[in-house]
Amino acid sequence: MKMWGGRFRQATNPDFQRWQSSFEFDRRLLSHELAASVAHARALKNAGILSSEELGAILAGLEQIADKAASSSAFLEDEEAEDVHHFVQKQLALLIGEVAYKLHSGRSRNEQIAIDLRLYIRTGIDQLQNDLAAWLDVLLECATQAQNAVMPAYTHLQRAEPVLVAHYLLAYVEMFLRDSGRLADCRARLNLCPLGSGAVAGATIPLDRRAMATALGFSGPTANSIDATSDRDFVIELVNALALIALHLSRWAEEMILFSSEEFGFVRLPEVYSTGSSAMPQKKNPDLLELTRGKVARVIAAANSLMIVTKGLPLAYNKDLQETQEPLFDAIATIAGLLPLASAWMKTAEFNYGRMRETADSGFMNAWAAATYLVHRGVPSALAHEQIGIAVQLCLEKGCGLDGLSLEQLRLLNPVFDTDFYACLQIDSVLAIHDVAGGTAPDRVRQAIVQARQRIAALREESHANA
Ligand code: ARG
């Protein structure tokens, strides 16, 4: 039996029927549909619509549906079901007879899909928070292991200044901590229960909305039935947060691809996560990283798609909203697939600290430190910059580093240069002068690692408390 057949004299065109059905993808909402139906059934009983026996039959039927779905995937092959809501009604009727049709009293699929999506996203966020925490642990572990290893930091992809490898890795920790914060914000904002909103104007039966919200772990009921049945902000918010995660992963992947090239030689590609070439026998290709970089496209596309679907939609529910489901599912599945693989890759990859240090030791990356030497001796910074620039030019002509200039040559540029200048050019001194919170001086980085560890632990605690 259809959920809406009564007023129609003609049968639905079968091609249209198949085409408009969402069961093929919304079946993944089944467990949430069942949980929401349990809460609704109890509210119907309290409102006097269901007797205790009827409630018992409905609850037992819903449980049986869950069991059947868990034990056989064939159970979910149903060409006739229009969507997950119709499927449950149909199966319930097969199991318990006509009383099944009482479950739909006072409710509409418009609120059902709204609650199913909120529950689905809530579960998805809790899972993603675990994956993110594990990824952050790996990044932090790599930072800890790197100890005092040094590498060049780049701006404009040109060598800029030496930094600790740990400092570089902590930059990614910051990005993914922000991502985790965005997921937590999104979860808190969506955690309101639309049950009792009906089709658009509110349920036609006085249901205890607060009780339903509490039973399903929401912080309360949504405030407006028109909004609750048409709102997909929470989907858009989540998928945009996922797009940022994807974007961060793609920046990481791009750097690892660059760093693993012969030209950089900073990272050795793990064989277990690389592939070969069918033509060139010598090749080891970073496919995991390339696909990571590539998959960001579909998550950004999902975020765009959601906004295009909802832009300009009149209030309240419109069937267009069904089109918000697949981009959401795909975006969550994509990120859930990426994070554990990124973690595994990072655990297995080896950094070539020797090569990194060699690179950090050349290319005038101590030039700013050299100018700072002059600033500490009272030279105005713009003039110091100019004078070290001339010194660099001189070195380029002579084919040496700044430490290859004699004191006489330096004093021609500025008489304040002294023998202690050469010490300030050493990598360790260059690192040490970046002695500010958030800078790369080794003590600062050690503190930053400790703080990052605490922040990750707090995040983990918060998401466990939610879940
Ligand atoms: N499958 C629909 C969706 O995803 C469920 C809601 C249908 N509501 C309706 N009034 N036809 O949006």
List Cα–Cα distances, 90 to 82, 217, 393, in angstroms.
10, 27, 81
Cα gap 410→369, rounded to integer Å:
15
Tell me the CA–centroid distance for residue 319 and ligand 1, in Å. 6
Judge if the beta carbon of residue 83 lies within 6 A of ligand 1: yes
Rounded distance from Cα 120 to ligand 1 centre (Å): 16
Q: Whose CA is nearest to atom 10 of ligand 1?
A: 110
277 part of the active site: yes
pTM of the entire predicted model: 0.95
Half-sphere exposure of 137 (CA within 13 A, CB side): 14
What are the mean pLDDT values of the chain's consecutive 10-residue runs (467 residues total)?
A: 86 94 98 98 98 98 98 95 97 98 97 98 97 98 97 96 98 98 97 98 97 98 98 98 98 98 96 85 90 97 98 98 98 98 97 97 92 97 97 97 96 97 96 97 98 94 83
Pocket of ligand 1 contains residue 22 by CB under 6 Å:
yes
Alpha-carbon distance 341 to 330, whole Å?
A: 17
pLDDT, residue 276, reads: 85
Mutate to test the pocket of ligand 1, among 88, 108, 110, 112 (most ligand atoms within 8 A of CB): 110
Catalytic residue among 261, 277, 362, 381: 277
Q: Which residues of 285-301 are buried (b: 16+ CB within 10 A; e: fewer)?
A: ebebbeebbebbebbbe
Ligand 1 touching residue 21 (CB < 6 A)? no
Q: What is the reported pLDDT for 275?
A: 85
- With vertex at residue 75, the alpha carbon angle to CA 70 and CA 79, rounded to the nearest 5 degrees, is 140
Largest distance between two CA atoms of the chain:
102
How much distance in Å is there from the Cα of 375 to the middle of ligand 1?
A: 68
Cβ of 305 closer than 6 Å to ligand 1, yes or no, is: no
Any atom of ligand 1 within 6 Å of the Cβ of 463: no
Distance CA 311, CA 407 (A): 68
Cβ–ligand 1 distance for 109 under 6 Å, the answer yes
